[in-house]
Structure 1
């Protein structure tokens, strides 16, 4: 069984990366119920146990089968490289009712008897209510389970995109796919996602492809969407092995010997994105000194930087995370 996407020349020019807080929210729900995904996320699972127990997720899980189709309108592909949860959930709430009914019917058909169950009949009978309740529940999951950790998750996802964007420039699209996952195979202008349930072919027709890294999707690869949605592939982000490792109470001596005490302190202080002034205040150092250390750490591949409004924010790359928590 395989999922195949057929590329034309225009599609190769429209391959892009994006991250999605809504995808992380949905896949977090799936991760809660899938022991095979728990290995990298045990600290998070223990911490959110009580909050998750207070959520009635049965309606979402009915539409998220173990394998097979889940409604595309749950997680429309990101329209820009960086979107907010508010922007994405607003798009969910604006789903046309005919599209919602079609997606609901396709998802329920994956589970024998689901469409005939009381819950399934209610969803199909009133898609407007279904969209509203699903959006409300996804928003609740976001606020309780994901939003508190979003700076950490976002830093890792953005570091993944930065790394793979460089690799795309270095090795090209075909080789990059194999680096994203061994389940992605490129041959004869066709991307095949192997090991999926059912066969699916789609000619992209100039729409291109969105590549979306995910913290929670490991060890799977997800492919979609049905027209009219933008085709997408969701793949496991790099560096999730150290994602939930608690930061050390102080800078490790070995890291200080490797980088120098002040530079190592700067790296370890970046548990979430921060600017030069904030780091200087936190560490009691001169902003000029912190700026110099940040430049060296970034040049060494331990940090990435991005402009946000009037300031530049620095974040650890997966390598930087691994060194800081070692």
Structure 2
């Protein structure tokens, strides 16, 4: 598995900006559209051309590298030689550049800059949600690991998306441009994305690995607006300070960071964290001299209950 934000950014771009709708909620689609400038919009237009699903390698990293940020990908795009796009287009489309890619091929430097800007603009909106998705991604890593260890890979692959089926005929993926690949003994990388329910991105022609990017289960809970009434109900159940702390812990945090964020003295934060630990909603981890607070699975389930 690989937890790579770049494919999430690409899926959101294709759905919200390029017109290839794959189930992104309308509210989120509008938020993304409002954040992107005209030059970036122009650059992503070829990604949604009717009848085409294949894009040049310049658009997507060859392999989804974990820890490689969207910002790093944008910087890399701006440094790509102009002739690289032409070479990629010729390789993908057999020597003839389709009409919808012609403006990009004519001015590749401008296209790379526009696409890089689109990535950055989209991530300004999507990045905070990606941070909140950490617990969903952790659960998915656990789910996939359990399926592999217990010999349930066939069931797992069929559960990734309604557009993917695994059976006697192999791995079938619904696509606009049908083709057949022999996966051989290449490694397969699964990449969960924060994307619309029908979004699937694959790379099947790499000589060493194949990868499949698919919507992480439970993503729909993050697209929803937080219901103020639900927040009030959670606060009534465990107290407003502890409810706020539980929401804050999308990522593990130190006691000092929690105290600073809440505007409270450390002793007060320690008291509330102890109560959350006793309830099984958070756990403490010592890392060097610092004590980190981590939201537990039980804490996640409680939040999910009040998000619905």
TM-score range, shorter chain: 0.7 to 0.9
CA distance in 1, matches of 2:240, 2:99: 64
2:74·2:117 contact (CA, 8 Å) conserved in 1? no
Residues 223-258 of structure 1 show CA distances to partners (whole Å, capped at 9, x for unaligned) of 214335742111012233232334455873432455
Counterparts in 2 of 1:218 and 1:94: CA distance versus 1, 3 Å: farther
CA distance in 1, matches of 2:303, 2:145: 24
Q: Secondary structure at the match of 1:238?
A: coil
The alignment's TM-score, normalised by the length of structure 2, stands at 0.73
In the TM superposition, residue 140 of structure 1 has moved relative to its aligned partner by 1.3
Q: Secondary structure at the match of 2:55?
A: coil
Taking the TM superposition and a 5 Å limit, the aligned residue runs for 1:294-313 are 296-298=280-282, 312=292
Counterparts in 2 of 1:311 and 1:239: CA distance versus 1, 3 Å: farther
CA distance in 1, matches of 2:77, 2:171: 28
The residue that corresponds to 2:27 in the other structure is: 43
1:25·1:138 contact (CA, 8 Å) conserved in 2? no
CA distance in 1, matches of 2:21, 2:43: 22
Counterparts in 2 of 1:59 and 1:218: CA distance versus 1, 3 Å: same
1:18·1:210 contact (CA, 8 Å) conserved in 2? no
Gaps of 5+ in 2: none
In the TM superposition, residue 219 of structure 1 has moved relative to its aligned partner by 1.2
The residue that corresponds to 1:279 in the other structure is: 258
CA distance in 2, matches of 1:97, 1:54: 22
- Asked whether 1:147 is paired with 2:127, we answer no
Residues 80-104 of structure 1 show CA distances to partners (whole Å, capped at 9, x for unaligned) of 4332123333554565777643432
Counterparts in 2 of 1:279 and 1:325: CA distance versus 1, 3 Å: farther
The residue that corresponds to 1:24 in the other structure is: 8
The residue that corresponds to 1:186 in the other structure is: 166
CA distance in 1, matches of 2:296, 2:15: 25
Counterparts in 2 of 1:93 and 1:83: CA distance versus 1, 3 Å: same
Q: Secondary structure at the match of 2:281?
A: helix
CA distance in 2, matches of 1:289, 1:146: 34
Residues 145-165 of structure 1 show CA distances to partners (whole Å, capped at 9, x for unaligned) of 322441322331x33332122
Taking the TM superposition and a 5 Å limit, the aligned residue runs for 1:122-141 are 123-124=104-105, 130=108, 132-141=109-118
Q: Secondary structure at the match of 1:185?
A: strand
Q: Secondary structure at the match of 2:197?
A: coil
The alignment's TM-score, normalised by the length of structure 1, stands at 0.70
Q: Secondary structure at the match of 2:67?
A: coil
CA distance in 2, matches of 1:105, 1:311: 54
Counterparts in 2 of 1:48 and 1:183: CA distance versus 1, 3 Å: closer
Q: Secondary structure at the match of 1:69?
A: coil
RMSD: 3.9
Q: Secondary structure at the match of 1:76?
A: coil
CA distance in 2, matches of 1:279, 1:257: 21
1:25·1:141 contact (CA, 8 Å) conserved in 2? no
Query: Please, which of 15, 25, 36 is the counterpart of residue 52 of structure 1?
Result: 36
The residue that corresponds to 2:189 in the other structure is: 210
Counterparts in 2 of 1:313 and 1:81: CA distance versus 1, 3 Å: farther
Gaps of 5+ in 1: 1-15, 300-304
The residue that corresponds to 1:70 in the other structure is: 55
1:275·1:311 contact (CA, 8 Å) conserved in 2? yes
Counterparts in 2 of 1:155 and 1:62: CA distance versus 1, 3 Å: same
Taking the TM superposition and a 5 Å limit, the aligned residue runs for 1:197-236 are 197-228=176-207, 230-236=209-215
The residue that corresponds to 1:290 in the other structure is: 273
CA distance in 1, matches of 2:59, 2:293: 31
Q: What is the number of equivalent residue pairs in this alignment?
A: 290
In the TM superposition, residue 212 of structure 1 has moved relative to its aligned partner by 1.4
